Amino acid sequence: MIKIYGVCPSPFVRKALVCAELKGLAYERIDIMPGKIPDDFKAISPLGKIPAITDGDFTISDSSVICDYFEEKYPQVATAPSNPEDKARARWLEEFADTKLAETASNIFFERILRGVMMGQEPNEERVTNIVDELLPERLDYLETILPASGFMFGDDLFTVDVALTTHLINASYAGYTLDSSRWPVTAAYYNRVIEHPALQKRFDEEVAMMGAKPKAA
């Protein structure tokens, strides 16, 4: 059986788990907490980062690589576009999400939840304000121009790229951030469609034990 190492609500672990759910893969999730990495975990994830997987004798880490592996190893249910142009575009958007959205939306979560609640330190609200007022809006302005008015990024089926584009905003929601649906109506509606998908709702049912509530709709 596939083993997926990581802990909810890591946005990257969430992406790998939803990909496995969409494909109907049987898996076991093994909790690995950031900052509490056991020494033997580096045999699976050399950088000590989550998520990582084992599939038989095969091991690999990094959420995007894991999802690509699932797509190629278990192609029965597609979680990525099939034609070269759309596939390349999906990979670019996933990279955009894993960098530009991660360094903004997920850092709201880092300051208010990880630092402020779990680590018992004073969150840097000046940093949060800069993200909310200056940095994140630029990313959302871009998404507003490229996201679909209905369905998902590449049609009616939820793909990994859709999870990537929303997973960091989900974490920001846990930290009290709400997308302004009057300023970014297309993005807000898209976000709501993604988080309402059964594969995401299953994740939230698990995450609620740690977070105390499900993420809010925009």
Beta bridge mates, 4:
29, 53
| Res 194: pLDDT | 99
Residues ≥6 apart with Cβ < 8 Å to 108: 128, 131, 132, 136, 171, 172, 175, 176, 177
**Residues 97-113: tens digit of each pLDDT:** 999 999 999 999 999 98
**Residues 58-88: tens digit of each pLDDT:** 999 999 999 999 999 999 999 999 999 999 9
d(CA 148, CA 42): 40
Cβ 108 vs Cβ 53: under 8 Å: no
Cα 137–chain centre separation = 19
**Signed CA dihedral, 116, 33, 207, 104: sign only:** positive
Identify the H or E element spanning 61.
strand 58-61
Q: Does the structure show a pLDDT above 90 at 35? A: no
d(CA 62, CA 91): 14
Q: Classify each residue of 171-203 as buried b or exposed e, where b means 16 or more C-beta atoms within 10 Å of its C-beta.
A: bbbbbebebeeeebebbbbbbebbbebebbeeb
Sketch out the chain's domains with CATH numbers: 2-73 (3.40.30.10), 84-211 (1.20.1050.10)
Predicted model pTM: 0.95
